[in-house]
Amino acid sequence: MKKLVTVATFNFPAELLVIKSRFEAEGIHCHTVDENLVQANNMYSVAIGGVKLQVRLEDERRALKILAEMGYLEHQAGVVPPYVRRWDAYTDKIPYLGALSSDLRIMIILAVLVVLFVPILFVMNGWL
- The tens digit of pLDDT for each residue in 71-122 reads 777 655 455 567 777 888 888 888 888 778 777 888 898 899 999 998 888 8
Give all strands (DSSP E) within 1-87, no chain letters: 4-10, 30-33, 51-56
Q: Where are the domains of the chain?
A: 4-70, 82-124
Strands 4-10 and 51-56 come out as antiparallel
φ, ψ for residue 54 (rounded to 5)?
-120, 145
**What is residue 75's predicted lDDT score, i.e. its pLDDT?**
54
Indicate whether 1 pLDDT > 60.
no
How far out from the chain centre does Cα 121 lie? 32
Residue 49: partners with Cβ closer than 8 Å, 6 or more residues away:
9, 34
User: Taking a C-beta distance cutoff of 8 angstroms, is the pair 23, 76 a contact?
Assistant: no
Over residues 40-68, the pLDDT tens digits come to: 887 777 778 788 899 998 998 899 889 88
Indicate whether 24 pLDDT > 80.
yes
Cα(57)–Cα(7) distance, integer angstroms: 10
